[in-house]
Amino acid sequence: MNLGALLLAAVVSQGQSVINLELVTGGLTSPVAVAHTGDSRLFIVEQIGRIRVFDTTLRTDPFLDIRSLVSSGGERGLLGVAFHPRYAENGFFYVNYTNTSGDTVIARYTRSATDPNRADPNSRRQILTVDQPFSNHNGGQLEFGPDGYLYIGLGDGGSGGDPDNRAQNLGDLLGKMLRIDVDTETGYAIPPSNPFVGRTGARPEIWASGLRNPWRYSFDRLTGDLWIADVGQGLWEEVSFQPATSIGGENYGWKRMEGTHCFSPPNGCNNGTLVLPVIEYDHSGDACSVTGGYVYRGTRNPHLAGLYLYGDYCSGEIWGAFRGASGAVQSFPLLDTGFFISTFGQDSLGEVYVADHRGGVLYRIVDPEPVVRRRSVRK
């Protein structure tokens, strides 16, 4: 266990608060994602089909309003946004939403030529559409990786127990992490280093398989490592870890496994080829659905440096996890928020935010005074 984990464990064992929440803004409608463009603004995705801008205050006029294109409710809606690494130059950003037929759409928009706080609603360019057989497990996250490629998290298509075994089928995009090159004039291209390029019967867009519903995942902005929070079935929630050195092709187990536990024996469970999660927890204490967060790389809260922050939608609990040099991960409870945690977010400086889905409120994670005082006596 590293020094940060030891300090955290000591604070938790004494019942002290490790983090606190600072109100950023209310007035949101079902917030589900938070992103930035490299400046002081936060772009907050509302599930109903809008993106709002916060810059000292929440702007009334939305950055983007595509409610007419979106089916929203349950696990459907406008679910994610990612800004191009060269957004300052090209103004491109990408959204992930379920259309009025309930299918997943990845589309590109461009910011307004006259107003940096508005998108051009007529600039829509559809990149990818994926049929969704059921209304749930749509995934929703979009992230550009350190390699400049766009990563797309797709759930297994819904229902329960992945009835069509899509997550294990390399010929199906559902239940996968995709990696595509959007720097092309033909929609998207396949990165030549994708692991299934040239493999008969496999979709070349696939980066990793065996996922049930990777609702939120993130890259560590310092190391490039990928943390994937995958929503479980009825018993176990899980977080998987992919090192920055990965060449892709990992199978994260669903539906052979739920977490580290055998789920569907006819599929062979763990035959030694699966990559099992580094974190799992059960549904005790009203837990029901993991919400992935970020490795803290900000400067306001030094004691959180290197800590992976994540939570649970139903219990409202926030946890922190350290990954040691050996690869082992220690996880600790940090705060019981009492609200429905739909997403975490990160600003341009590495500070981390968390949203209350039902309350429509965004908070910043901050350092409570008791922990500040403890830092002064560290050796």
Pick from 297, 326, 327: which is nearest to 309 by CA? 297
The domain ranges of the chain are 1-26+305-379, 28-304
pLDDT at 7: 54
pLDDT tens-digit profile, the chain (379 residues): 444 555 555 555 545 568 999 999 999 999 999 999 999 999 999 999 999 999 999 999 999 999 999 999 999 999 999 999 999 999 999 999 999 999 999 999 999 999 999 999 999 999 999 999 999 999 999 999 999 999 999 999 999 999 999 999 999 999 999 999 999 988 999 999 999 999 999 999 999 999 999 999 999 999 999 999 999 999 999 999 999 999 999 999 999 999 999 998 666 788 889 999 999 999 999 999 999 999 999 999 998 999 999 999 999 999 999 999 889 999 999 999 999 999 999 999 999 999 999 999 999 999 875 433 333 332 2
pLDDT at 289: 98
CATH number of 28-304: 2.120.10.30
Straight-line distance from the first to the last Cα atom of the chain, in angstroms, rounded to the nearest whole number: 16
Question: Who contacts 154 (Cβ-Cβ below 8 Å, separation ≥6)?
Answer: 104, 130, 138, 139, 173, 174, 175, 176, 177, 178, 211, 214
The pTM of the full predicted model, rounded to 2 decimals, is 0.93
pLDDT at 120: 98
